[in-house]
Amino acid sequence: MVKSGILLIDKPQMITSHDVVDIVRRKFNIKRVGHAGTLDPLATGLLIILVDRATKQFNRFVDFDKGYTACLKLGAGTDSGDSQGKIIAESGYSGVTLENVEAALKSLEGKIENVPPMVSALKHKGKRLYKLARQGITVERKARPVEIHSLKLLKLSLPDIEFEVRCSKGTYIRSLAEEIAKRLNCVGHISEIRRISVGPYSVAQAKAADDFDENDIRPA
């Protein structure tokens, strides 16, 4: 019998978080498997998998702060906020400097309002927003209070701005990136995103989605 606990998985790009859950279910031949916080298919990085009785501790893991690295590409805004969407707006970025990028990032630290993107798993009148978005339907979304603990520039190579963010649960990095672009008088979208931490857990501790076994299950 497989022991209860958590698996730290480094999710690869272009598979869903639920795909990883299915991989674990098949590997261990067990149904009680879940994950603590969805990563978009485009995103890579740390996914906490809950095995057997650990699924009852979902809320504890979801409530942890998160850490991400991401790349914002200026000049084109998309309907999804990432590189998989359709371009809906364009702008120049020739006036963007290191100084105003750093100022824009600094201005977003602390408690802010974060608007969920249309392409998200939130529901509106019982329907997932991403399903409405696929039908070309846009609905008003209420901004949610979140906290950005730190927001640091990693590399500036226009049109790309690479940054690292530590934030509270419920923060949508695609929306944060769009707000950074807005403060630079531009539009933009996320071209890369990687979750590097969840609470005390780091992606450096994670196993590949095709290279783990029961010995990698940690106590919850």
In whole angstroms, give the CA distance from residue 177 to residue 164. Answer: 11
Q: Specify whether the CB–CB gap between 177 and 125 falls below 8 A.
A: no
- Model confidence at 84, in pLDDT bands (50, 70, 90)? confident
Task: List active site positions.
Answer: 40
Give pLDDT tens digits for 52-80.
999 999 999 999 999 999 999 999 999 88
CATH topology of domain 66-198: Pseudouridine synthase (3.30.2350)
Q: Name 137's Cβ contacts closer than 8 Å, sequence gap at least 6.
A: none
Position 132 scores a pLDDT of 72
Which pTM value belongs to this model? 0.92
**Both tokens assigned to 139:** 């609905």
**Both tokens assigned to 78:** 């998309």
Residue type, 211: D
Q: Among 54, 27, 45, 26, which residue's Cα sits nearest to residue 35?
A: 54
Give pLDDT tens digits for 5-19.
999 999 999 999 999
Give pLDDT tens digits for 177-220.
999 999 999 999 999 999 999 999 999 999 999 999 999 999 99
What is the residue-averaged pLDDT of the chain?
A: 93
31-48: average pLDDT: 93
From 116-130, 134-148, 158-172, the region with the lowest mean pLDDT: 116-130
CATH topology of domain 5-63+199-216: Pseudouridine synthase (3.30.2350)
Residue 112 dihedral angles phi and psi, to the nearest 5°: -135, 170
Q: CATH 3.30.2350.10 residue ranges in the chain?
A: 5-63+199-216, 66-198
Give pLDDT tens digits for 140-164.
788 999 999 999 999 999 999 999 9
Q: Is 59 left (phi over 0), alpha (psi -120 to 50) or beta?
A: alpha
